Homo-oligomer: A and B are copies of this chain.
Amino acid sequence: MPTDDDLRRAFAIFNEIGILSQLSRAAFEARLPDGVLLPHFSLINHLVRVADGQTPLVMARAFQVPKTTMSHMVSVVAKRGWVELRANPKDGRSKRVWLTPAGRAFREDAIASIAPDLATISDVLKPQAQDTLLHDLQTLREFLDAQRDGENGSDG
């Protein structure tokens, strides 16, 4: 049975997460070219880390956004020349998203430009604390993911 203080603490945790998300996103986007947003970087980064040639719908599920949102995100980064859309010979309905050399270069540059900012974390959190923090955040995220799966998908 949770006490009032338990609830307050849980509320505070998610409140801090929300604020941190906002602050870190703003800090990151300040290092990106003008008009480029965090989701655009995330999309490219995803293609590099997982694999390119995925369909927009698969990516929408990975990012847990509606497919219309992914469609728009892909069109934006395609306009920048960072990905190319090609027909899927295996399935006439779908397209596949391929990285371009410019897309990979953009990712490298972005990572290099935020690395110094990222490194400053160590000014306030010891390595051991960072490990614990990351571990607990992952635990929490997996838990929320599992809860979400128990309910409903976000698109058709």
Q: Which residues on A are within 8 Å of B, measured CB to CB?
A: 2, 6-7, 9-14, 16-28, 38, 64, 115, 118-125, 127, 129-134, 136-141, 143-145, 147-148, 154
Pick from B7, B20, B131, B143: contact of A119, CB below 8 A. Answer: B7
B133→A133 contact, CB < 8 A: yes
Which residues of B sit under 8 angstroms from A145, Cβ to Cβ?
23
Q: Which residue of B lies closest to A11 (CB)?
A: B118
Per the bound structure, the CA–CA distance linking A138 and B144 in Å amounts to 21
Which residues of B sit under 8 angstroms from A118, Cβ to Cβ?
2, 7, 10-11, 14
Query: Main secondary structure on chain A at its contact with chain B?
Result: helix
Contact flag A140-B121 (CB < 8 Å), given A24-B14, A132-B132, A148-B27:
yes
Which residues of B sit under 8 angstroms from A131, Cβ to Cβ?
9
A18→B16 contact, CB < 8 A: no
- Closest chain-B Cβ to A109's Cβ sits at a distance in Å of 15
In the complex, 19 of the A-B residue pairs with CB atoms within 8 angstroms, ordered by the A residue number, are A7-B118, A9-B131, A10-B130, A13-B133, A13-B137, A16-B141, A17-B21, A18-B21, A18-B24, A20-B137, A20-B140, A21-B21, A23-B141, A23-B144, A120-B143, A125-B136, A125-B140, A132-B132, A133-B140
